[in-house]
A and B are shown apart, each in its own frame.
Chain A
Amino acid sequence: MPSDGRFGPAFDGFQAPLSAFRSLLVNTGEEVRAMLLGRRSTLESRAARVAAELGPLAAGRIDPERFATLVFDHQDADPAAAEILERALDVLTDLADRGERLSLVQVSAGGNLYDAVARALGEIGRAFSAARAILEIRSGRHGGDDGGVGPLPFGRWTKAERRLAPPLVVRVHGSDLRPAALAEFLDGRQKIILAVEGQCVPAPLARFITPGTYVLQTADGSGIDRFAAWEGPGIAALVPESAAFFEHDPAAGAAPWERITITHLPEKLPRRTLAGLSARQQAEEIDLLRSLATRPAGVESVAGAPTPAPAAKKKDDPADKLAAWLLSRVDLSNLG
């Protein structure tokens, strides 16, 4: 585990989901292994396998040939299917062996953040490709294709898959921090943590504030445990002191000002263009954050109405509409 600088705290909060995803890969791999054993046995001697499974105590005490009649095996001995299963198992094993490294993304200087994240998620998606290939075989449906187990882009992930993938921790330089396009990855339970190196714009994540998305800017990792525990999608940035620190917790209330806590705002307004945003645009983001976090005059609290799940959100909140509109305005053409 990388322990330098801002990576440490980011990873600590994610031990559980990382470990859960690895368990998922291991369990799935074990199932495939068993499927392979079941299939291979039609080629090898079933009795020998059954004898091995019963262990040495059964030697001379249980007739393995007769016992083998109790084992209900798949009768599909298609070698092409076995080959796909083996490839799928290789993918799952490889991903499991990569462990936390699977969740670690490094954006090289001048590199494209969106591309790097998309690539990393696509790699994780190999697990889902593999699972789909296995499911096809298990249902006896696999066609003549090679049962591709290559990368699967996030856009093709199912609802369930979007809740399973591990969080990504992305190390990116502030000057390359153009996160807007990452919005398309914030679905299901997907979490992205940006560990920002060097200076960055003051409120790079303000535009992500939507009712069901956990958004966090922090310098020391505080709040990352709540962020990690959130059932929905989320994006966090570990930022330098020159940026704002705030937390948008979707569970904290119905109105945006109830959900947002700002703990720090930069003293100086930005003067230089950074990461493609002019000083004015950067100031706009700070203003957006401030306005979302402020209770409009004369508006009472909404009696602490809870928002237990993203699905239960009210969709007509004006501030949320604004945020959505803002996001839709972001020009994605030069980021792809």
Chain B
Amino acid sequence: MRIAAPAALLPDKASETPAAVATVTTLPGHTLEVVSDSGEGAQRCAQIFGTVSAKMGNGIWTVEIIPAEIQPPPRHPTSASGNRVRIGTGAVTNWGDAADLIVAFNEQALLQRFRLGALADDAIILIEDMWATHADPQIRNAWDDAMEELGGRSFRFINVPMEEQCLTIVDNARLGKNMFALGLLTCIYGRDLDLVRDAIAQGFLKKAKSALQTNLDLFELGHRWAEQHIDFRIAVPAVKPDRAMVAMNGNQAIALGSIAAGMELCAMYPITPATSASHYLSDVFEKFGGIVHQAEDEIAAIGVALGSSFAGKVAFTITSGPGLALKTEFIALAIMTETPLVLVDVQRGGPSTGLPTKVEQSDLLAALYGQPGDAPHVVMAPATMEECFLCMTTARRIAEALRTVVIVLSDANLASGVQRFPRPEPSEHWLAQPLDLAPVRDGLRPYDWDPQRGVSPRIVPGQPGGMFTATGLSHDEASHVGYTPDVHERGCQMRSRKLALFQQMLEPPAVNGDPTGDLLVVGWGSTLGAIEEAVERARQEGLSVSSLHLRFLSPLEPGLKEIFQRFGKVMTIEINYSDDPTDPFFTSENRRRGQLCWLLRAHTLVDVDCWTRVPGEPLRPGQILQAIRESMPQGGSR
């Protein structure tokens, strides 16, 4: 027997309410999800929705919901594939808390999102209802079980006969529902029809016209169905920004940013979630005089980048945690030979193969200290898609000026999420990087270190009179191998002094909120938006909270101790593992802390606390807010 969705929440199926009578709710923001089985195109539907919203002037943030396999079994909770889109009147800086509306192509995908806490208590659920009356009794039972699990809450269910409707146009509805769903959403959110049609057409540039028409027809069908059957509309007013904007994901931003930075070689080996950056680069790089070299392995990838940099053409390599581990020896070689190099690590869940498609911030200490021996280098972390774009220019400059390695820590949240941001204005200054093969002046040695600052001018092959052999062995100013205590001490000192010098060039970080207070939360990387939203909400609740977000992790930005001392308590928020301090098993001695926390404690001798989680998804502002509430120091003002 079929268990019906709670009667009070069932849509009035009989009503043919015209759009004019639908109630319109105006909101500053809304979060929606589209989920299907892998291969049914929910991602495409949501991506178009996101792009169109951005074009209309809304702030957006999209997050992919991806199963680990390419073709997982259908109608299984782990198969849920799709996107979350959060839109807002102003800028949107993170993926939000729970979805206010979800379109689900089957009840198992819906169930998965529900179980993960992705749905707001009063979420509107548009669900394909063909499964309720499916010929296969197992499927009918699964539907019933799901409805029972979902029951008893304030969800508003709207059954949508997607299959039935799509079959009026196509034979295989599996390949058409996403456009139908796009029609539904376009109607509900009042999206610009022409923009949607254009965006659909963009995907069919290289395909048959008839295929495009079919998709457009499915889209119009969905739109009409919603006009006739859905009695509410959601308006998220858009404000046309006063400057040109772009929307892209962090990997695209890193790829484009590397071009804007004048790089001409990306040497890589396929690894999730870093690789999509090289997909995009492979498509366009050659137009710019650059190439993507797919090496035989992670080690060769950084080796090729290093060789190119040694020869005067600064290159970069892009990888993820397991690849970072393999590249370790080469990172140290670049540091030892003082060869500029940019390495992008798009972090995923670890250790080992871990969570290949999911976000985590657990490579920080490996990036800083993973190289055996003393190997000082720069580590920086972009916090937004825009910073992913911009950091490549900055990283390359630093690498060249300091003759060292710059590791850029991105993560899966930045890599696959799409955000709107002001269109970058590339400048020829970013690019300037040609070889200068002028003869080397007499007496100049390859490591003529400035004894105070540790820096030395770079010599590249082709320069007459500059011949030297770079070596990973301990060496003196002339790059002659030397094992004596003074030579090795001196080399170590010089490589370290560069970092100290660079630290002096950094400005103290800005504090978001009051410069003093009860609690300072400190973050790095992709958590910026969620942390700042949580802090904002906490401050509205009257809590005395500020936040600080670090871009440079090595060397650490200056003035941290002084800033920390102005707050009653300092706590990092990170997506990496730490032991739960409320578990009596842990003491302050045996508790393992978050990675930035560890670093800040060592660096400042301040008793920094941490709140970290490893859910395999971005942190939600609501979660962070709750952590802030619970972490307020005793006697804090309210």
Contacts and interface: CB of A to CB of B under 8 A. Distances in A.
Interface in A104-151: 138-139
A33 interface: yes
A55 B439 contact: no
Interface string B505-527: 11101100000000000000000
B455 interface: yes
B394 A54 contact: yes
B401 interface: yes
A30 interface: yes
Contacts of A78: none
Contacts of B501: 70
Nearest to A55: B393
A57 B401 contact: no
Q: How large is the interface on A (under 10, 10 to 19, 20 to 34, 35 or more residues)?
A: 20 to 34
Contacts, number: 79
B558 to A, nearest CB: 10
A58 B435 CA distance: 24
A34 B434 contact: yes
A54 B397 contact: yes
A325 interface: no
A27 B434 contact: yes
Given A31-B434, A34-B434, A70-B455, A52 B401 contact: no
A63 B429 contact: no
A56 B505 CA distance: 16
Given A54-B397, A55-B394, A57-B387, A62 B507 contact: yes
A54 B436 contact: no
Given A27-B434, A33-B434, A54-B393, A49 B429 contact: yes
B430 A33 contact: no
A38 to B, nearest CB: 8
Contacts of B505: 62-63, 66-67
A154 to B, nearest CB: 25
Interface of A is mostly: helix
B438 to A, nearest CB: 5
B402 interface: yes
B510 to A, nearest CB: 7
Given A71-B401, A139-B438, A139-B439, A55 B506 contact: no
Q: Which of A30, A31, A55, A58 has the most CB of B within 10 A?
A: A55
A61 B383 CA distance: 14
B457 A61 contact: no
Given A33-B434, A138-B438, A53 B504 contact: no
Nearest to A66: B505
A60 B401 contact: no
Contacts of B504: 66
A141 to B, nearest CB: 11
A219 interface: no
Contacts of A35: 436
Contacts of B393: 53-55, 57
Interface in B541-590: 551-552, 557
Interface band, chain B: 35 or more
Interface in A20-57: 23, 27, 30-31, 33-35, 37, 49, 52-57
A72 B457 contact: yes
Nearest to B380: A57
Contact of B432 (A33, A58, A67, A72): A33
A70 B454 CA distance: 11
Given A54-B393, A54-B397, A61 B455 contact: no
Given A57-B390, A57-B391, A62 B436 contact: no
B427 interface: yes
A55 B432 contact: no
B256 to A, nearest CB: 13
B514 to A, nearest CB: 19
Contacts of A60: 507, 510
A67 B510 CA distance: 20
B383 to A, nearest CB: 10
Interface of B: 261, 289, 382, 387, 390-391, 393-394, 397-398, 401-402, 424, 427-430, 432-436, 438-439, 453, 455, 457, 501, 504-507, 509-510, 551-552, 557
Interface of A: 23, 27, 30-31, 33-35, 37, 49, 52-58, 60-63, 66-67, 69-72, 138-139
Given A61-B552, A138-B439, 5 more contacts: A55-B390, A58-B394, A61-B509, A61-B557, A70-B455
26 contacts: A30-B432, A31-B434, A34-B434, A37-B432, A49-B429, A52-B429, A53-B429, A55-B430, A57-B387, A57-B393, A57-B394, A57-B551, A58-B394, A58-B397, A60-B510, A61-B507, A61-B509, A61-B551, A62-B394, A62-B507, A63-B505, A63-B506, A70-B455, A138-B439, A139-B438, A139-B439
